[in-house]
Amino acid sequence: MTNAEIAAALEELAVLYQLDGADRYRVLAYTNSARTIRDQGSSVEEMALCGEVTELPGVGKTLEEKILALIETGEIPAAAKLKEKLPPGLIEINRIPGLGPKTVRRLHDELGVNGPDDLREAAEAGKVRELKGLGAKSEESILEGLDRLDEEPAGPQRKLLDEVLPLAEELVTALREHPSCEQAEIAGSARRMADTCKDIDLIATSRDPKTLAAHIASHETVASAGNPSENGVKLETQPGIGVDVRIVVPEAFGNLLQHFTGSAAHNTVLREIAVSEGLHVSEHGIKDDSTGETEAFRTEHEVYERLGYSYIEPELRENRGELEAARAGELPDLVERSQVRGDLHCHTTLSDGQNTLEEMAAAAEELGYDYLAITDHSASHGFGDGVPADVLLRRVEEIREFNRQEGRIRLLAGSEVNINADGTLDYEDDVLDELDWVIASIHTGFSKSESAMTARMIAAIEHPAVDCIGHATGRLLTRRDPYPLDIEAALEAAARSNTAFEINGSPKRRDLSDVHARMAKAAGVKIVLNTDSHRVGSFAYMRYAVATARRAWLEPADVLNTGSWWK
């Protein structure tokens, strides 16, 4: 049993408990340990069988018993009991986005809903909107959710890049460490730094491919493996991410890497153009019609050169004009991580962060930054952890004090201010005027119309105190769609009023997206690369902000925080 399967069973148990009305802490205990188990590099099944599973943080005797029963019988007895007790339809409607177990429970208790059919009937009869806390809008989105339940049974989910990339890097390192391995690289969507990935693609060259395939199949994170062969091996890992390892002879490494990096759209057009020029591109080489010979290349640079292009960075290979630009020698000089001089969005213990101002500052110094903006949430953040104006003003003083120290990072006194439903901001102007850096973000009230949301955002963009718009579309990758917004109108307003937009590098956000950030550049809007860190470890998310910027064709001059502090 893989870690992912054990984690899924515990998550299901958490949902079942919630549907049954258990208290929040009991539920949290199961969801937290599910995450710990999924992220565990080696087999939790083995740990459990050796009596070591209670060494994991948050895993006690009760949970150990449940895990052992799951391994032995394929189910957790408590879950089986609850499934018998609860109507099966409730578990199904719990999958509707926005419908948490608590609401499902109320629908059951108050409207007698036992499954999708009951729920549809109740919603169509306008009964759902009568429940406290639910309205016509919720009713509408429940009906939409029900339609989608029929359309797509819960398929395997795409993974966020930060779940995939560290694992891919660990495996590629393991490949390189083997004596028979000459070269190994990550390919596919992970190499292109896409928002989400279906799986991990790895390629390697070796004179002894079968031995190398067997070696990687025995890695501790591998839960099961196909048959190692001359061509590679398919793996299933403990976190539930599939891996395709392909092995070739060294002479064609460039062709193979180019082929399996994709994207499929990039490669399809690349091949079509090549055919019209008498060249056939495959993972094995480039065949020239005029000579009938196939040439293999060791590097991608040579592959692109042979086809008449300058080298195209993996992040650009999405068939968004990169081939034409590479032909014409007009590819952008992409921004790099090392060019970022500071982070302009982070939280501390003053609002909902986990580290103090001093700890955040020290971590940013460790990264070699010149400046760091402290941007805790404003007064009515909506989650009970906002910062009232007087507390913020004391914080500003504290930051001024900090900046009097010699040889330390420059801190900017900032805030992530809520944009209220009517487009006003959450602090009075005289408070905002005390700040060096103001990010305005929408955190609540997502279900307004597009025109209302756009007007709301433009009002903030045009506010003279606002420097930057935070996570502009509110999307949460694989979990929540962006709220309705006319991004073009917002960008136009931003260009006029000289307001920047951030690329929020939190891997679940990547917001602005690559497409929107490229639109921002075209509209003349400056971009800020931010991490929205709530703890020191998240400063590393800058990597993903930079990745989105590169996928958006951004150059250093398009990004404000590649420069020195400018205000």
**Interface contacts to Zn ion, rule CB under 5 A:** 441
Residue 418 or 561: which CB sits closer to Zn ion? 418
Residue 343: contacted member of Ca ion, ligand DGT, Zn ion, none (CB under 5 to 8 Å, by partner type):
none
Sequence-distant (≥ 6) Cβ neighbours of residue 546 within 8 angstroms:
335, 336, 337, 340, 505, 529
Task: Find the shortest distance in angstroms from Cβ 198 to Ca ion.
Answer: 5
Task: Find the shortest distance in angstroms from Cβ 231 to ligand DGT.
Answer: 14
Q: Phi-psi category of 510—alpha, beta or left, where left has phi over 0 and alpha has psi -120 to 50?
A: left
Residue 474: contacted member of ligand DGT, Zn ion, Ca ion, none (CB under 5 to 8 Å, by partner type):
none
Sequence-distant (≥ 6) Cβ neighbours of residue 83 within 8 angstroms:
16, 91
Task: Find the shortest distance in angstroms from Cβ 513 to ligand DGT.
Answer: 16
Q: Phi-psi category of 498—alpha, beta or left, where left has phi over 0 and alpha has psi -120 to 50?
A: left
SS3 for 342?
strand
Residue 189 or 499: which CB sits closer to Zn ion? 499
Q: What is the DSSP letter of 268?
A: H
Residue 229 or 268: which CB sits closer to ligand DGT? 268
Residue 228 or 474: which CB sits closer to Zn ion? 474
Residue 3 or 533: which CB sits closer to Zn ion? 533
Contacting residues toward ligand DGT, per CB under 6 A: 188-189, 197-199, 201, 259-260, 262-264, 267-268
Residue 118: contacted member of Zn ion, Ca ion, ligand DGT, none (CB under 5 to 8 Å, by partner type):
none
Give CA 176 to chain center in angstroms. Answer: 27
Residue 268: contacted member of ligand DGT, Ca ion, Zn ion, none (CB under 5 to 8 Å, by partner type):
ligand DGT
Residue 441: contacted member of Ca ion, Zn ion, ligand DGT, none (CB under 5 to 8 Å, by partner type):
Zn ion
Sign of CA dihedral 136, 139, 141, 143: negative
Task: Find the shortest distance in angstroms from Cβ 267 to ligand DGT.
Answer: 4
Task: Find the shortest distance in angstroms from Cβ 242 to Ca ion.
Answer: 9
Task: Find the shortest distance in angstroms from Cβ 38 to ligand DGT.
Answer: 19
On whether the CB atoms of residues 161 and 507 are closer than 8 A, the answer is yes
On whether the CB atoms of residues 375 and 439 are closer than 8 A, the answer is yes
Task: Find the shortest distance in angstroms from Cβ 197 to ligand DGT.
Answer: 4
Task: Find the shortest distance in angstroms from Cβ 221 to Ca ion.
Answer: 17
On whether the CB atoms of residues 544 and 162 are closer than 8 A, the answer is yes
Residue 260: contacted member of Ca ion, ligand DGT, Zn ion, none (CB under 5 to 8 Å, by partner type):
ligand DGT
Residue 189 or 441: which CB sits closer to Zn ion? 441
* 327 backbone dihedrals φ, ψ, rounded to 5°: -65, -40
Contacting residues toward Ca ion, per CB under 5 A: 188-189, 199, 201
Residue 334 or 545: which CB sits closer to Zn ion? 545
Query: Cα separation of 459 and 424, whole Å?
Result: 7
Task: Find the shortest distance in angstroms from Cβ 538 to ligand DGT.
Answer: 24
Residue 246: contacted member of ligand DGT, Ca ion, Zn ion, none (CB under 5 to 8 Å, by partner type):
none
**Edge-to-edge strands of the sheet including 222-225?**
181-187, 200-206, 242-248, 232-237, 222-225
319 burial (CB, 10 Å; 0-12 / 13-18 / 19+) is middle
The beta strands (E) that lie in 269-367 are given as 279-281, 286-288, 293-295, 342-343
Residue 164 or 468: which CB sits closer to Zn ion? 468
Element (H, E) at 242: strand 242-248
Residue 76 or 439: which CB sits closer to Zn ion? 439
Query: Measuring CA to CA, how many Å separate 414 from each of 378, 392, 399, 555?
Result: 10, 9, 10, 26
Residue, CB closest to ligand DGT: 262
538 burial (CB, 10 Å; 0-12 / 13-18 / 19+) is buried
Residue, CB closest to Zn ion: 441
Residue 263: contacted member of Ca ion, ligand DGT, Zn ion, none (CB under 5 to 8 Å, by partner type):
ligand DGT
